[in-house]
């Protein structure tokens, strides 16, 4: 319909151009338009009009195409503007969500950091308490070790003393055994000699008595006779043996104590 309107307008323009004499003023200096005169050939005019009409139609078609393109572009522009508006709204929504998410993450991170700090503080306090307990246990262990060391040194000293006493007692026992053996031998010899000579003469008895007395005085002046001296030595020997048994028992107890 727009093309038909444009064609009617073009025909009216051509009619006015044909009916007026001032065609040069209306058409200007366009080389394709020629001035008309009464003597011009109608055929040339029709040819020119046909060419003009054709070009005018082409112009109208191009104008129509441009209008359609413009309308299409306008429609597309409206669609794009609407899409841009939607995208802007989506962008604003996304930005708002991002801000909210950032705020939530920030708050969550702050809470997490505070919790981590509390846990670190509690852990540090726990480690400090454990360290104090370990330090206390270490001091107690040191004191106990020192006490045990002192007891061990004391027991070692007592053991050395017991060993010394035992060695001394063993030496005493050996000495007493030797002395007792000597006395027994002397008593046997004396007894044999006395038995052989006691009936021979009173002088021999006196000599033997003197020798016996001399022997008694030489062995132990404080004891009354050889028999008493031997009995005393036997009692002393028994006491020494009892002391040795006691020392051996104490030694075994100390060895059991150190082995545990």
Beta strands in 93-168 (DSSP E): none
Helix H or strand E segment including 37: none
Domain presence at residue 104:
no
Q: Is residue 252 a part of any domain in this protein?
A: yes
Detail the DSSP E strand segments found in the chain: none
pLDDT at res. 87: 92
Q: Which CATH number fits the domain that encloses residue 177?
A: 1.10.287
Query: Domain span at residue 232?
Result: 148-259
Q: How many domains does the chain have?
A: 2
Q: Output the pLDDT for position 22.
A: 41
With the C-alpha atoms ordered 93, 98, 99, 101, is the resulting torsion angle positive or negative?
Answer: positive
Q: What is the pLDDT of residue 206?
A: 57
* 103 is a domain residue: no
The per-residue pLDDT for 217 is: 63
Residue 129, in any domain of the structure: no
Same domain, 61 and 157: no
For residue 97, being part of any structural domain is answered with no
Residue 115 lies in a domain: no
- Tens digits of pLDDT across the chain (260 residues): 343 444 444 444 444 444 443 444 444 444 444 444 555 577 887 888 888 888 888 888 899 989 999 999 999 999 999 999 999 999 999 899 989 988 888 888 888 888 989 998 998 899 889 989 988 888 888 888 888 888 888 888 888 887 787 788 778 778 777 877 887 777 677 666 655 655 554 454 455 556 656 655 665 554 455 566 667 666 766 776 676 677 667 667 766 655 55
**Domain end among 22, 57, 91:** 91
Gap between the Cα atoms of 249 and 260, Å rounded = 17
CA dist 120 and 115 (Å) reads 8
Farthest-apart Cα atoms in the chain, separation: 226
The encoded tokens of residue 23 equal 């065609």
Q: Among the three residues 91, 125, 158, which one is the final residue of a domain in this structure? A: 91
Does a structural domain hold residue 122?
no
The CA distance from 220 to 225, in Å, is 9
Altogether, the residues listed in the chain come to a count of 260
> Buried (b) or exposed (e) across 21-46, using 16+ Cβ within 10 A?
eebeeeeeeeeeeeebeeeeeeeeee
- Show which of 58, 74, 91 is a domain's final residue: 91
pLDDT of residue 257: 58
Whether 152 and 253 map to the same domain: the answer is yes
At 105, list the tokens.
């993450």
**Do 240 and 167 share a structural domain?**
yes
Same domain, 163 and 250: yes
Q: What are the distances in angstroms from CA 55 to CA 20, 21, 32, 59, 60?
A: 22, 24, 11, 6, 8
Which of left, alpha, beta for 28 (phi over 0: left; psi -120 to 50: alpha)? left
With respect to residue 68, please indicate whether it lies within any of the assigned structural domains: yes
Instruction: Mark whether 87 and 153 lie in a shared domain.
Output: no
């Amino acid at each position: 319909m727009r093309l038909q309107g444009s064609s009617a307008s073009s025909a009216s323009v051509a009619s006015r151009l044909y009916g007026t004499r001032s065609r040069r003023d209306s058409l200007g200096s366009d080389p394709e338009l020629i001035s008309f005169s009464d003597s011009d050939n109608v055929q040339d005019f029709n040819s020119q009009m046909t060419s003009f009409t054709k070009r005018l139609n082409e112009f109208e078609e191009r104008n129509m195409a441009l209008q359609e393109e413009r309308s299409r572009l306008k429609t597309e522009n409206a669609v794009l503007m609407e899409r841009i508006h939607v995208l802007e709204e989506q962008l604003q929504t996304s930005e708002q969500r991002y801000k909210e998410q950032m705020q939530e993450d920030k708050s969550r991170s702050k809470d997490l950091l505070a919790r981590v700090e509390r846990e670190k503080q509690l852990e540090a306090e726990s480690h400090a308490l454990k360290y104090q307990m370990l330090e206390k246990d270490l001091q107690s262990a040191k004191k106990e070790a020192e006490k045990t060391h002192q007891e061990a040194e004391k027991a070692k000293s007592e053991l050395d003393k017991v060993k010394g006493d035992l060695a001394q007692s063993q030496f005493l026992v050996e000495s007493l055994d030797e002395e007792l053996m000597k006395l027994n031998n002397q008593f046997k010899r004396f007894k044999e000699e006395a038995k052989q000579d006691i009936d021979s003469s009173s002088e021999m008895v006196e000599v033997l008595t003197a020798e016996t007395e001399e022997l008694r005085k030489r062995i132990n002046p404080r004891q009354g006779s050889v028999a008493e001296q031997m009995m005393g030595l036997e009692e002393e020997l028994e006491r020494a043996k009892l002391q040795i048994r006691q020392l051996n028992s104490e030694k075994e107890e100390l060895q059991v104590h150190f082995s545990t």
